[in-house]
Structure 1
Amino acid sequence: LVGSPNIRYTSGELDSTISLRCEIAQLPFNAVITWVYRPKIPTVNGIKWLPLYANARRLAQNNRRFIVDYSGFNSQTQTHLSILTINPLNPSDEGLYMCKSNQHQSTANMYNLTVTPSMKILPNDGTIEIHNLQRSLNL
């Protein structure tokens, strides 16, 4: 990769849907766009990049919450577009997501995703439900 990728910080609410957009220019029409993920919480074998998608082909067979909309090469804009959608968001989804090309001189798009607790205020009894920790506060 040429230079360091730009890291975009983003967050999504627990159990919601989030989409991460990747647009890479100046690649040949047959370039492969790959999404990889590095969890915030270390795995047993240490932190490593886990492959999710190559173009529209799913690489993570055990996780159907990840979906890619791969538009491919746009000849008018000379770009490749790939959008990774996660639905629903889980706490384990926190971490770094990178979209990159198989081309030597290409740059990458990187997202640092934080999952925030969801909150619901019940109108009649003054209870606030915070779903991340499964606790309730009475006012």
Structure 2
Amino acid sequence: MQTDWRSSLKRVTAEYGSDLSLSCTFQNKDSDEIIVQWLYQNSTDTNHRRSKSHWKPLFLNTQSLIPRETRYSIQQKIQKINRTFIAYSTILTLTKVTDSDEGLYMCKSLLPKTIQMTYQVQVIQSLDINPKQLIIPSDEMGKYSIQLSCILKDNHTNRRHHDIFWWHNNKRLGSRTNRFARIIKNFTQHSVTSTLFYTGDSSFITGNYVCESEPLRRHISVKLQTNISSS
């Protein structure tokens, strides 16, 4: 099977034991017949970079080509855009992900023209954020510094790269975008820790924080302590 899947490759992180959904959307004329395939190539084939890689068929439209594998399911949605065009969406879901599910997943529209999207799935052990909640004392006025850590555990940290991003109230944080934010990464044999140091006025740094290794997200709320006086 000759495919140039690298041009449309998207990396996705899945947590061991969780469910994973991958989706593709194609726009076609309402009158056209739509044929969509889902295919899989395991990480062994991918890492060895065979000249003739083996792709395993999973689904043809909604028809399963692996009836004995019950962890896979497929959904399709058709939405009319206008009188001429429709949006055809296909969603592949894999339940209780394991290390053996790592690899490439391709959805490919065969008619009326060939369009494809490829996901590279990496399975990690866990993604956690510490602390779970942070309360700033009410007597802290002016500038205040917080420290948050995002810990990604992976049995294969030594041979692959992980991106971890930080967000504050839906805005991306980084030294290039915010001079009050500093992010440091530490690596061990089986983990990556991204630590956020953030300094600013106590009322400014409160809010919702997210650490993300797409599509996994972990949340923490930073709040100001409220004094409740009793009579």
2:36 is aligned to 33
Q: CA deviation at 1:22?
A: 0.6
Letter in 2 for 1:48: H
Helix, strand or coil at the partner of 1:30: coil
- 1:53-72 equivalences under 5 Å are 53-71=59-77
The alignment yields a C-alpha RMSD, in angstroms, of: 3.0
Q: Which residue of 2 aligns with 1:79?
A: 87
Give 1:26 deviation, angstroms: 2.9
Deviation at 1:96, TM superposition (A): 0.4
Q: Tell me which of 51, 58, 61 is aligned to 1:52.
A: 58
Cα distance between partner residues in 2 of 1:26 and 1:106 = 11
Say yes or no: does 1:24 pair with 2:29. no
- C-alpha displacement at 1:74, in angstroms? 2.7
Deviation at 1:75, TM superposition (A): 2.7
Kept in 2: contact 1:36–1:52 (CA 8 A)? yes
Instruction: Judge conservation of contact 1:14–1:91 (CA < 8 Å) in 2.
Output: yes
Q: CA deviation at 1:131?
A: 9.7
Question: 2:208 corresponds to which residue?
Answer: none
Structure 2 residues without counterparts, runs of 5 or longer: 46-51, 129-152, 156-231
* 1:84-123 equivalences in 2 (<5 Å): 84-103=92-111, 105-118=113-126
- 8 Å contact from structure 1 (residues 96, 112) kept in 2: yes
By how many angstroms is 1:18 displaced? Answer: 0.9
Identical residues among aligned pairs (%): 25
- SS of the residue aligned with 2:38? strand
Question: AA paired with 2:126?
Answer: S
**How much has 1:2 moved relative to structure 2?**
9.5
Higher relative contact order (CA 8 A, sep 6+): 1
Partner of 2:93, secondary structure, is strand
State TM-score, norm by structure 2: 0.46
- Deviation of 1:118 after TM superposition, in Å, equals 3.4
**TM-score, normalised on structure 1?**
0.73
CA distance in 1, matches of 2:70, 2:38: 14
Report the number of matched residues: 121
Return the structure number with greater strand share: 2
Structure 2 residue identity aligned to 1:60: I
CA distance in 2, matches of 1:88, 1:30: 33
Higher helix share: 2
Partner SS for 2:44: coil
* Contact 2:34/2:112 (8 A) holds in 1: no
Give the structure 1 partner of residue 15 of structure 2: 13
